[in-house]
Amino acid sequence: MEISIQPILDKALAGERLTSKDASELLESRDFVRIGLAAHEMRMRKNPTDGVTYIIDRNINYTNVCNVVCTFCAFYRRPGKPDTYVHSIEEICKRIDETIGLGGTGILMQGGLHPDFNIEWYENLLSTLHAQYPKFQLHCFSPPEIHNISLISKLDYLTIMQRLKDAGLNSMPGGGGEILDDEVRARVSTKCNTQEWLDVMRAAHKVGLRSTATMMFGIGDHIEHRVRHLQRIRDVQDETGGFTAFIPWTFQRENTALGRKITKEPTGIDYLQMLAVSRLFLDNIDHIQASWLTQGLKLGQTALRFGADDMGSIMIEENVVSAAGADNEANERDLRYQIREAGFVPQQRDILYNHIERDGVADLDKSGSIKLKRLSVAFAD
């Protein structure tokens, strides 16, 4: 017989911190609806409004050249291969102009670990973009890229983060976290280890930059690894307070070497349960983001009742998880519709969760349904 998780949920709702053991028991339980209800209650206490935020930004992957191997990645190309690319600054500016035209407030820019790009390359990129778009938010470079700069330029993380901030960096994405436990990481990737990922984040927060934190699970990890990941994120947040949001999602296996080996994928229920437990365990992080891009719009919508208060980005461009099989898409109208139909009020935000008001946005809410992407009708004659 399954043990009752109600005492753990009562503890969380009474404002007491959950232990790793509590989180494990919640993740092992089959009572996921009850966990979701408690997570939603915590979400409403932390963000006491029926608003659900989203951002209009664009993922720009400035290069697919990558020096390391992650067996879960379908995006990278080894240096020297024929289908490698590096975007020019002009190409990046063109994408920024399009993003601004759609009401966007920033870019999420990250790329492979290029063997030749030193700190000056990144400073030049940021300062050129910042000079041209001073109010546009540059949310760039995940910890593995920073670690790569430190190897190439022989600089410590703190110096790198200060220099990138001075060049115009606004904040950092929490990519490359996957599972923050070397027992799992070392099996699937040769990029930065757990300690290095966390230390980059500490350095970013120390120089006054905010960042997100992520988790990609289903890469051969078990509950104990996921719980250690949550514990490590919560510990850094206790030290620095620099994380704006936590974003868990599941491994997208298409076209990846690891995908051929993994036989058991996380289900929609596993995703919702992980999201809800994240909300209950990470009592020091304000925002939990639904990953509709990887889970699909309908599960993304359901996530809003399992602790998430943010729908993420409308993603004008995305190349990394789509290379691995995530093919969901939504424009602003669709995303607002999904949020409204889940019983919430859609609200655009920027990268730092400041609300954005734009003329004409209310018109997007006039339609009563989302458009059909494809219409095929069979007529009987």
Q: Which is nearer to ligand SF4, 139 or 279 (CB)?
A: 139
Q: Point out which residues pair with 215 in neighbouring strands.
A: 248
Minimum distance between the CB of residue 112 and ligand SF4, rounded to whole angstroms? 4
Binding map of ligand SF4 across residues 173-192, x = CB under 6 A, - = no contact: ----------------x-x-
Residue whose C-alpha is closest to residue 180's, from 206, 153, 198: 198
Minimum distance between the CB of residue 81 and ligand SF4, rounded to whole angstroms? 13
149 binds ligand SF4 (CB under 6 A): no
User: Could you tell me which residues come within 8 angstroms of residue 261 by beta carbon, excluding any fewer than 6 positions away?
Assistant: 71
Residues 24-83 that bind ligand SF4 (CB under 6 A): 66, 68-70, 73, 75-76
3-state secondary structure of 73: coil
Minimum distance between the CB of residue 260 and ligand SF4, rounded to whole angstroms? 16
Size of the site for ligand SF4 (CB under 6 A): 12
Minimum distance between the CB of residue 109 and ligand SF4, rounded to whole angstroms? 13
| Owner of token pair 């007491």 | 16
> What whole-number distance in Å separates Cα of residue 381 and Cα of residue 378?
10
Q: Which amino acid is at 177?
A: G
Q: Where are the alpha helices (DSSP H) in the chain?
A: 6-13, 20-28, 32-46, 89-101, 119-132, 143-153, 157-167, 182-188, 194-206, 223-240, 257-261, 268-281, 292-295, 297-303, 320-323, 332-341
Minimum distance between the CB of residue 75 and ligand SF4, rounded to whole angstroms? 5
Cβ contact 168:126 at 8 Å: yes
Binding map of ligand SF4 across residues 103-122, x = CB under 6 A, - = no contact: ---------xx---------
Task: Tell me which of 104, 106, 144, 177 binds ligand SF4, using CB under 6 A.
Answer: 144
Residues found near ligand SF4 in the complex (CB under 6 A): 66, 68-70, 73, 75-76, 112-113, 144, 189, 191
